[in-house]
Amino acid sequence: MIDGRLADAAADGEESFPRIKTGNPQADEILGGGFPCNSINILMGQPGTGKTIFAQQLLFHNATGGRPLLFVTTLSEPMHKVVSYVQRFDFFNPGRIGDDIQYEDLGAALSERGPIALSDWLSHAIKTRSPKVVVIDSFRAIHDLAISADETRRFISNIAGLLSAYDVTTFLLGEYTQDDIRTFPEFAVADAIVELARQPRSSRDERFLRVLKLRGSAYREGQHAFRITASGLELYPRLVAPREPEKYVSSVDRISTGVHGLDDILGGGLLAGSTTLVVGMAGSGKTTLALQFALEGVRRGEQTLYVNFQENPAQLRRAIGNLGEDPDALQRKGLRLLYASPVELQIDSIVVEIFDAIKSGTIRRLVIDAVGDLGAAASDSQRLHDYLYSLIQHFAARGVTTVLTLESGEGFTGSTLAHDERFSYMSDNLIYLAWSPLKVGHRTIRVVKMRGSAHERDIRGFEIGAEGVRVL
């Protein structure tokens, strides 16, 4: 007989979790590889958050000939607008419209016949067109049709049954709110729920993508910032701490700070791969000290990244010149300057930029001046601390020696310490700079903490001269 000869017939059934890519590598990364195939997915968010763009980017990415991809509009989104706007994006390809991507407007049919028009259309489309992907925009609009809750439930159960029976991946778009998740039956049948949100922040809005549910798959939790550009959604996946912190090896190598007298009170210099927080009031010399640390690295032939949010490039070049160095020569030797205006600063994009720079593995020294500016740019401070903590873990794992500066308003008071505690716990070393405005020229420096090393605990005086900070 023929049994046993078909052992391989089901091989494709064993690929337990095939994915459909979104056309956006960062979104795929957040989703653990993409949306699961043969699934029902909800893209939710208020009008203008980018749902339609995200869905269409996915369609154009997956339009590779073969089975068609269908985009059907219902009551809230006029089809001609959807098609008209999509042409502005780079991913739009007119050659794909028609055979590969088919747009259809069900608005009139739904108004006339109610939700049954959608289930009939779906059933017919499956039988006659073999769609690979179906996008329904907006699915939430179905709830606006005058039908009872019971009818809605039966309708959605029927639609879900049909879509689950057939080899098709479905995206239901809608202006859903958090409350809808608990009450609307489509959320119970959804395999994935992705929320796009827009939050006002001072003079501009911040957009976030968040995965609320993804059946059978790991995904990256939390809010991932994004912008809408001509290429579609430009996403900044939230940085998470490295998975293998055990790779962290404490170094005994000492790194010179380049600050006269400071290495001595640090027990010979900073430990390689450590993170140092330099705290002080405005004008206390933090930037000068941090700059000296960076320039010392360049002098020693180490690739150095200097991130700053206050001095613009011209101001910074002047500060470097004041320390007797030629900024152009230093940049040729390996100094990289990264500037973002604190007004325009978007924490997610700058963190991604810093992370990309250190991922290359060549950066040995890094300065962030000042982390407080990141705090001011972050819409929630816990998120900033999570970010910084993750970043610092990545620095440590790669042996990058880091100096972070932080402006304190009140000098060495107890309240400042409490305020700074969340910054200080994530740093190995803590240096306080102070000066008294009443007593001209009286500046002090104190090494408060130095993990894994003996150090001097006394308060020492220092001065700022032509060569920068000089510990007395």
Partner 1 sequence: MAQVNTSPDNHLRAVSDLTPQLDIPASNAEGSAIILVVERDPHIRELESYFLNEAGFTVDFAADGLDALTRARDLRPDIIITEVLVPKLDGLALCRTVKSDPDLRHIVMLVFSILAVQSRAREAGADAFLMKPLAEKRLVETVRQLLVMRSAMSQPEETHD
**Which residues sit at the interface with partner 1, rule CB under 8 A?**
1-14, 16, 38, 123, 126-127, 130, 161-162, 164-168
What CA dihedral angle connects 86, 92, 94 and 98, to 10 degrees? -70
Backbone angles phi, psi at 429, to 5 degrees: -125, 150
Count of CB atoms within 10 A of residue 157's CB? 14
* Residue placing its CB nearer to partner 1 in the complex, 11 or 454: 11
Taking the least distance from each CB to partner 1, the nearer of 8 and 244 is 8
Distance of CA 465 to the CA centre of its chain: 41
Shortest reach from residue 171's CB to partner 1, in Å = 16
Considering the complex, what minimum distance in angstroms separates the CB of residue 120 from partner 1? 13
β-partners of residue 103 are: 71
Min CB(142)–partner 1 separation in Å: 19
Q: How far is the CB of 377 from partner 1 (least distance, A)?
A: 46
Question: Which H helix or E strand runs over 446?
Answer: strand 443-450
Beta carbon nearer to partner 1, 35 or 91? 35
Q: CA-CA distance, 408 to 425, in Å (whole number)?
A: 16
Write out the H or E segment, with its range, that includes residue 108: helix 107-113
Exposure string of 160-197, with b = 16+ CB inside 10 Å and e = fewer, is beebeebebbbbbbbbbeeebbeebbbbebbbbbbbbb
Give whichever of 129 and 318 is closer to partner 1, judged by the CB atom: 129
Task: Output 99 or 328, the one with its CB closest to partner 1.
Answer: 99
- DSSP state letter for 269: S
Instruction: Report the nearest approach of partner 1 to the CB of residue 91 (Å).
Output: 25
Which is nearer to partner 1, 130 or 415 (by Cβ)? 130
Q: How far is the CB of 149 from partner 1 (least distance, A)?
A: 22
Residues 181, 193 contacting (CB under 8 angstroms): yes
